[in-house]
């Protein structure tokens, strides 16, 4: 009788929840302000930002990042990850390796996610993985240089110092909060670790990942007001092609991939580049697709393509959905979403605590591609933004975004994601407030 009552209660609860959900959706659609200029423009901004993101970041940033993450899960031994980045690794070593690795990548808050997922899945400790997650988009050297050049040496120094400290401190706090859970994870990983090492020497593995990271970095090399930077930018695709050829040679030499298939792939990529020189993304996609097809056809390397696909199907839909929502709310850089830009400028127009908190929260929700945060902050400061909120935005914005949070949740869970995001926002607020009022 009790079982029957529980089943009936559960059924009624499900039906009630479904009814409430349907009612909420209906009311949302019924009262949606379609036809008003601001709402229609916000929808267009969401579509435009998602379109821009798909064209500028999915192909050149995320696809190679998925490949690197899949390769991490396939070719890096769990023993090596646990030795240098695991929960039991010396914290100085683990945090140093994680922070330096993140700094060298110079990627945005979304591109770093597959790489973060790869090292965490392979056994990296939570603290070291979080240090890597924050440092990747927050501390890259060129962003610091441009910040100092555009916003002043004082702001550049404050951003560099704050970001380096944040990576270590936030990682350490996350480790301390979840140390018991991490200890259990160590036991679980140790039990599942067979102790077998891969059949390829460490030098080949290091070169393999260095070439793929080089392809990721140079394919996304952006133009900037620097002679050396612009010189590299003009040769970015030639450098990317050389690195790709070196990667193909390594796959033949150490992975014993078939020469004929790689030669055919190289010929197709070269022919496509010659036919469509104004669309370098096309041969780039063909090269990646060809690598994955060859990998999937080889039993010993099939796991690489499978792991890369797992990361892509888990992360990409959330990123695109998150970018759409962020575009609807705040628009593209220099454009408005549903929230008027005047409100933002007025709300962060001084160095008060409220202004700094708002700057940190808005920075955490907005999406910034690599280096775009500097001109955005420059424009806001020109409209009256205080130095404290500006620094808070620079510390929180590049490392977090709404799409970034959605993906982190699938990797770490809701609680850890909330704690991590809260730490970034709180520390950005405190640092910005101190800088704006007492520096």
**What value does the mean pLDDT take over residues 226-240?**
86
Nearest to 394 by CA among 422, 368, 420: 368
Q: For residue 229, how far is the Cα from the chain centroid?
A: 23
pLDDT at 424 over 70: yes
Other Cβ atoms less than 10 A from the Cβ of 225: the count is: 9
Question: In the structure, what pLDDT confidence band is assigned to residue 336 with cuts at 50, 70 and 90?
Answer: confident
Q: What is the pTM of this model?
A: 0.81
3-state secondary structure of 63: helix
DSSP code of residue 62: I
> Taking each helix axis from N to C terminus, what angle separates 402-412 and 302-330, rounded to the nearest 10 degrees?
140
Q: What's residue 413's pLDDT? A: 92
Residue 215: enclosing H or E segment and its boundaries? helix 202-219
What token pair was written down for 166? 């944040």
Question: In the structure, what pLDDT confidence band is assigned to residue 35 with cuts at 50, 70 and 90?
Answer: confident
Nearest to 241 by CA among 264, 211, 261, 206: 211
pLDDT in tens, 372-388: 788 778 877 876 788 99
Cβ–Cβ under 8 Å, residues 404 and 420: no
pLDDT in tens, 247-281: 999 999 999 999 999 999 999 999 999 999 999 99
Nearest to 366 by CA among 333, 402, 335, 407: 402
Q: What percent of the chain has pLDDT over 90?
A: 38
pLDDT at 356 over 60: yes
pLDDT in tens, 277-293: 999 999 999 999 999 99
């Amino acid at each position: 009788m009790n079982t029957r009552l529980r089943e009936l209660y559960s059924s009624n609860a499900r039906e009630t929840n479904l009814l409430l959900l349907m009612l909420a959706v209906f009311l949302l659609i019924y009262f949606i302000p379609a036809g008003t200029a601001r709402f229609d423009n916000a929808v267009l901004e969401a579509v435009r930002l998602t379109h821009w993101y798909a064209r500028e970041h999915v192909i050149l940033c995320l696809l190679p990042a998925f490949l690197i993450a899949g390769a991490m899960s396939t070719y890096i031994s769990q023993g090596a990850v646990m030795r240098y980045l695991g929960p039991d690794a010396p914290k100085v070593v683990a945090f140093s390796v994680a922070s330096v690795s993140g700094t060298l990548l110079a990627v945005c808050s979304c591109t770093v996610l597959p790489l973060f997922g790869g090292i965490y899945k392979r056994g990296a400790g939570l603290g070291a993985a979080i240090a890597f997650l924050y440092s990747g988009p927050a501390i890259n050297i060129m962003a610091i240089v441009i910040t100092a050049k555009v916003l002043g040496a004082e702001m550049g120094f404050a951003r560099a110092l704050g970001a380096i400290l944040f990576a270590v401190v936030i990682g350490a706090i996350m480790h301390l909060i979840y140390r018991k859970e991490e200890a259990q994870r160590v036991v679980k990983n140790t039990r599942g670790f067979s102790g077998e090492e891969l059949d390829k020497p460490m030098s080949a593995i290091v070169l393999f990942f260095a070439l793929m990271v080089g392809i990721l970095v140079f394919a996304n090399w952006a133009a900037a007001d620097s002679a050396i930077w612009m010189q590299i930018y003009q040769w970015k695709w030639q450098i990317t092609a050389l690195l790709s050829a070196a990667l193909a040679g390594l796959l033949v030499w150490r992975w014993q991939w078939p020469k004929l298939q790689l030669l055919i792939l190289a010929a197709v990529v070269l022919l496509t580049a010659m036919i469509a020189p104004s669309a370098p993304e096309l041969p780039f996609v063909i090269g990646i697709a060809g690598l994955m097809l060859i990998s999937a056809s080889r039993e010993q390397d099939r796991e690489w393509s499978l792991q890369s696909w797992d990361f892509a199907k888990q992360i990409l839909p959330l990123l695109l959905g998150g970018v759409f929502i962020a575009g609807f709310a705040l628009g593209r850089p220099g454009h408005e979403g549903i929230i008027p830009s005047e409100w933002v400028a007025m709300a962060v127009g001084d160095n008060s605590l409220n202004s700094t908190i708002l700057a940190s929260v808005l920075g955490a929700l907005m999406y910034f591609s690599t280096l775009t945060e500097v001109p955005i902050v420059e424009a806001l400061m020109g409209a009256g933004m205080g130095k404290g909120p500006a620094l808070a935005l620079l510390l929180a914005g590049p490392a977090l975004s709404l799409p970034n949070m959605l993906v982190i949740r699938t990797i770490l869970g809701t609680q850890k994601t909330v704690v991590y995001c809260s730490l970034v926002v709180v520390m950005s607020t405190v640092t910005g407030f101190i800088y704006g009022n007492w520096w």
